[in-house]
Amino acid sequence: MARTGSSLLFALTLVCGLQARSITMYRDGDCSLNAYLSCDQYARCIDSEDGSRFTCECLNNVEGDGFKESLGGTGCKLPLKPCATSKDCPEYATCSPEHSCVCDKGFQGDGFTCADINECQNTSLCAQHAYCINEPGTFACRCNQTEGYHGDGFTCNFKCASNNDCDAPIATCNDDNICVCDKGYGGDGRKCTDVDECAPGGAHNCMVNANCVNTVGSFKCECKNGYSGDGINCSSLPRTCKDIPGFTNGNKYKIDPDGPGPANGFIVICDKINGIIVTKLPPTGPFPMTTPTTQGPLVITYEPKPTDIQPLLENSGFCYQDISFRCLAGFALFPGTKWIDAYDNAHSNWGSTQDDMCACGELKVCPASCYCDGSKATMDSGRVLNKRNLPVVAITFSTTVSAKGSVDIQPLICSDVPAGIPIDCHDAKFNYNVKKNTPLHIDPDGPSMNSLPPFLVYCDMQSYSHVGVTAVIVEKEFQTVQRRRFRICDQRPKKTRLFPRRRRRAGLVRLRRHQFMPGSECQMQLRHRR
């Protein structure tokens, strides 16, 4: 008859329905003497038929020979400790619904033995000014009261008497005698550091089209390139004044010519010239400006950087800038004067193709010498039409100059089509108030067609009161040829006229006789006298 090694084993066999394993080995003796001493607690003792021998057999589904390990056996290795109630489990273990012993929370082990987990090895469980106390199955945090900190251990605050006990001025002592960091700072109140609200997950409210910029104790939202607003709300910026419906002439507006591109937006003046919308960018200095009395450049600055201005030039169909250099009566223009473009290239002419010449110097038709180092003229001016040279950023002087002169730099003006350019000399005389004979840029096809770029002509404004005469260069071999041919068009004559035979002072021109017909073209020859 089989007998168990203990009453506990018998109870487990009944409750769990475990079955005995087959006999594997026998030892001398019987179970009455050896069951408790020789068999593993999870094995049962079985006598041989003659009662002279016995064996230990592990319960069903348990590995081992059944004999205790202390007697040279393997014992019985259970995957989980079988139990009926938690009383059947060791200390700090509980019987699960599957009748296996499981270590309690705060302990670790295999159910046979359960060891306490030392939570205090994790140094981040308690507050900065607290210490950890490990307890069976749990832990406790205690604030370091000897240093003046009080709380539940997870939050420890310094007990202060005044703001001087805190990290002033960015922390205050509240009514509970606790140092509290100001908004935008983090810490225990005795030491506060800036909180980066712009970090991922930070507490900022900048919109998607704005950049968050962290500041000390706070943050700010800045709209991205191509947008304007307070950073909380950002709207697209216009690229030119044309994109601003209903703007007020002469008012300032912010634009960003390349939209969300790398260039920054800037302030311009929106206006209309002869009904054409133009974008004006004035220089920052007050002009006219007195010429410097020492050698060196007169630097011309603008609110935006030159790199920010370039998209405006690139996206506009037409741009120009007017420049003038004036001397008081009796003083000559300064020799070697040059202007510098946005790419640091030096130019000694305004709008002509010949270096060291002004517009009338190119035509060789002007009321007085128009060279930039001329000895008679008291004013030299021009219009820079080449967008690749704009804007003008400096005027240089090669020698010490007199304070009797001044430089005037007009705003950079850009538009979709040519604006501020007369279609001919007659238009310039009566619509642009140009009353003196002068070289001038005209745009014959006007802004509506815009098929031809403006070009330089000579305007005779004084020969006839009723009309401005346009002279267009036909031949340019003026360096060697004394005679130059011009095509002249009088678009608005009141009647057929004859140019009178007329002499002018030496160094200027003499008009030859020729016929004007209403609306027709004719030619004349201009002869230079030395």
Which CATH number does the domain housing residue 103 bear? 2.10.25
pLDDT at residue number 328: 61
Asked if 267 contacts 241 with a C-beta cutoff of 8 angstroms, the reply is no
pLDDT band at residue 213 using 50, 70 and 90 as cut-offs: very high
Q: What is the DSSP letter of 243?
A: G
Confidence (pTM): 0.54
- Strand, coil or helix: what is 11? helix
Asked if 129 contacts 143 with a C-beta cutoff of 8 angstroms, the reply is yes
One domain for residues 292 and 410: yes
Per the structure, the complete domain to which residue 55 belongs is given by 3-78
Asked if 159 contacts 141 with a C-beta cutoff of 8 angstroms, the reply is no
Predicted confidence (pLDDT) at residue 415 exceeds the cutoff of 70 = yes
CA distance 428 to 441: 10
What is the residue type of 182? D
Average pLDDT of 313-324?
89
One domain for residues 299 and 397: yes
One domain for residues 10 and 106: no
The total number of structural domains in the chain stands at 5
Dump pLDDT digits (tens) for 433-454: 888 887 788 888 777 665 677 8
Which three-class secondary structure string do you get for 360-400?
A: HHHHCCCCCCCCCCCCCCCEEEEEECCHHHCCCCEEECCCC
pLDDT at residue number 450: 59
Short-list 82, 87, 92, CA closest to 40: 82
Dump pLDDT digits (tens) for 27-58: 888 888 777 788 888 788 888 888 888 888 88
- Strand, coil or helix: what is 517? coil
Average pLDDT of 313-321?
91
One domain for residues 403 and 437: no
One domain for residues 286 and 343: yes
CA distance 173 to 227: 43
User: What percent of the chain clears pLDDT 70, i.e. is strictly above it?
Assistant: 72
One domain for residues 100 and 23: no
Predicted confidence (pLDDT) at residue 380 exceeds the cutoff of 90 = no
- Flag whether 192 is in a domain: no
pLDDT at residue number 368: 43
One domain for residues 408 and 286: yes
pLDDT at residue number 24: 53
pLDDT at residue number 411: 95
Tell which of 390, 415, 440 closes a domain: 415
